[in-house]
Chains A and B, each alone.
Chain A
Amino acid sequence: MKTLFKITVLMLITSFQVYAQTETETETEILYSKSYETNQSTTALLEFRGSSVEIYKSPDDKFHIEYIIEFINYPNRKKKEARERVNIESDLVNNQITLVDKSKFSMYRFYQSETITGTLDLRNESEIKSYLYKSEKQVVNEINKAKKPVSLYAKYIQSANRYSESEKKEMIEKSNNRKRKKYVKRFTIKVPSHLDLTINSKASTIRIQEKIENQITLRADGGTVYLNEINNIRNIIKIKDATLIVNSINGGEVILDNSKRTIIGELKNVKLNSEFSQLEIGLINKNVEITDFTSKYLIHNFSKDFEALDMNTEYSEVNLFLPRNGGYELTTFGNYTKHFVENKLVEVSAEKTNGNTKMLDLNSKENDGKLSAIKVNTANGIIRISKDVINFGE
């Protein structure tokens, strides 16, 4: 009888724990909500630090701010503390809306040793052996996939090379089934189409979910920026130590400093200035100019009438797949640059320093009379050109 009782108590305790692990309780609260009337000359200055921000078109002429907190399996006794860490200020002065997130930098607690180890293990990145050509559609699919939220744990496990693929899958599934206590905070901002927007963010995730025409001045220091289609000739996008994932940029200037991952679906009418970055571009459209120092470029496609691509590079690695639509002429000028065409070294006569000689000239065979020009000014560079596959055999 005594033994039976003990077993029953143990079963009861165990079943409570199992039940607690499988049930997810989510509770959403709006912590801040404000709307401002705007006119044609209203501007907005938004400052974020460690924030998660989603920006949409406003359904009316008002500027809407909403800040929510989502508690997931979070203990009631700790919710108050989480709420108290939120500190948001906004105002409308001299026709400028300001919004500042002064909340304490308080992402949910994080003490999974494997995730920490994953973070510390990131340097074991596998070396890429080749690049395969991707159609514009394939690049867009990758962008859309990259935009889907992934847990930090999954991100680090995926990037840790000490696990096999099956081990990674198993660990992530196990983690997904585990009950977590956390809270997620998020801004939802709705912007009228006439409003000029300035965003300064640090270690934040900024998502502009829709195609927008607003003038945007964005400075992202760390974190990740996800954009859909941004169209404005006065746009300025500055990315430092951050990731940029964007479907299309039409107009303006993009400045990248140490962006380890930038994927751009399409570039049109853009001046791109980069250093110490890695970029993958799905499509080069009209009027694109690139200036770079020590970055790695991978360019997949050119639009039929892109007319001209100008690149000025120093110590850069330019990998490009030849245009598939329309005639082209590809010319490289400069000095001391190594060229690989269809994965074979092409010897070009070039001075070691200070020269600006013409080094390589490639023309499309299908010449319909109108050629688009790819002009690469390069010093101490590596240029790889291919139709389908770029191998790094050197």
Chain B
Amino acid sequence: MQYRRKQDIHMSAVAINPLNRAVRFYEAPIGKKAVMAVTGVMLVGYVIGHLLGNLQIYSSDPQQINRYAAFLHNPSNALALWGVRLILLAAVVLHIVSSVQLWQQNREARPLRYYKKADVPTSYAARTMLWSGPIVAAFVIFHVLHLTTGSILPLHDIGPNMPDVRYNVVSGFQNYWVSGFYIFAMILLCMHLYHGLWSMFQSVGISHPRYTSKLKKGAAIVAILIAIGNCSIPIAVMAGLVTY
């Protein structure tokens, strides 16, 4: 006789449809905000990792950053590289799509504007998230075209899968327009993170009178440090401190 799986007859058995749950989750603004928080963590994690990689340009060994680039581009790492790229792309798409949907809903929630409206505690950074976001996104596209695909300035290679990062960065940042746009975008990124780095905790429900004020300060410090680190590279190139 064949063994038949026992039916669950416990009182606590309930129909749990994961698809229903996911739909209900994303339908809710709180769910969309949680999506923005989680994708935000992923993106800011990448930003910090990317910055740490970039800071190798200050190494006393001028070839250090090129060795790091060759390591990343090594064909044996291709799977990991493309895996990370796809995950980041998915995070960017989810972050943007949910923010646009929330923005649309929020705009419709107040069809008639106030004649006079004050912003009591809202920081400039929080008020301009919808401006800093798209500009940083445009910058990311510019940055990829500039230093990954070489569509803006021709890129040098040392060998196959070995980009000459040092040359490409220095020659790019010697152009004041390019450097200016990088610095501008990094300041906006700093503002975006100034609000977003704290906000993501609130969105997933982490708030405590003992820790929230420290969390806000910590978020501001991290945002400023990221901006200083990133802006230092074009400034150092233009000042002639980093050369090819």
Do chains A and B interact in one complex? no
